[in-house]
């Protein structure tokens, strides 16, 4: 497959004041585009040509670091844009997902605190995740472009804690960015859609 940059599912200014137009222009148009361009160049002539993005991410992990980093980040960002929406967050979750978060993670408020703590505690660049592994929800964090796919889990929500995701709007206040993300940006319907497919 060839990597292509997806359109944002909302206008560049739609997530303000929590994520600015300038952040999305840089993050989507420059950073995500670079992962697409570099990923396509690195894919040429490898055993992974013609494979699905998930297969490329899993197959290149530990074997082809440059391809993995760009493919992983492409996968992560395809979903990251959909994990946010205008007027997101809130306290009303789709029923099956709310039940599972209550069962496995001690409720929405505890999830939000633990998920934000995972993101704040990731040293340097990386991601915080909500994933399904062996039928249970779990919170984790990964460095750089790594994601739960390579650890036997299925990610259903992720937040980018690379500085380019928040520095224009929050400078070094990563915890404030994470609070804004969980309280005001999460697209719970998309999280539920992914959860229902696991």
Annotated binding site for Mn(2+): 27, 77, 160, 164
Which residues fall in the annotated binding site?
A: 27, 77, 160, 164
Q: How far apart are the C-alpha atoms of 172 and 73, rounded to whole Å?
A: 22
Three-state secondary structure string covering the chain? CCCCCCCCCCCCCCCCCCCCHHHHHHHHHHHHHHHHHHHHHHHCCCCCCCCCHHHHHHHHCCCCHHHHHHHHHHHHHHHHHHCECCCCCCCCCCHHHHHHHHHHHCCHHHHHHHHHHHHHHCCCCEEEEEEEECCEEEEEEEECCCCHHHHCCEEEEEEECCHHHCHHHHCCCHHHHHHHHHHHHECHHHHHHHHHCC
> What is the end-to-end Cα distance of the chain in Å, rounded?
23
8 A C-beta contact, residue 51 and residue 71? no
* Phi, psi for 102 (deg, rounded to 5): -60, -45
């Amino acid at each position: 497959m060839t990597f292509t940059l997806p359109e944002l599912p909302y206008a560049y200014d739609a997530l303000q004041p929590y994520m600015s137009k300038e952040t999305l222009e840089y993050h989507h148009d420059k950073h995500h585009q670079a992962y697409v361009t570099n990923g396509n160049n690195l894919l040429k002539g490898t055993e992974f040509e013609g494979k699905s993005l998930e297969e490329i991410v899993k197959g290149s992990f530990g074997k082809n670091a440059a391809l993995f980093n760009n493919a992983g980040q492409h996968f992560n960002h395809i979903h990251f844009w959909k994990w946010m929406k205008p007027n997101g967050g809130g306290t009303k979750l789709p029923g099956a997902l709310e039940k599972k978060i209550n069962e496995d993670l001690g409720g929405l408020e505890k999830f939000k605190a633990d998920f934000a703590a995972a993101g704040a505690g990731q040293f340097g660049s990386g991601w915080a995740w909500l994933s399904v592994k062996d039928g249970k929800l779990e919170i984790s964090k990964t460095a750089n472009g790594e994601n739960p796919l390579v650890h036997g889990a299925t990610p259903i929500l992720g937040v980018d804690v690379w500085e380019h995701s928040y520095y224009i709007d929050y400078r070094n206040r990563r915890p404030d960015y994470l609070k804004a993300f969980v309280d005001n940006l999460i697209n719970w319907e998309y999280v539920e859609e992914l959860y229902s497919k696991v």
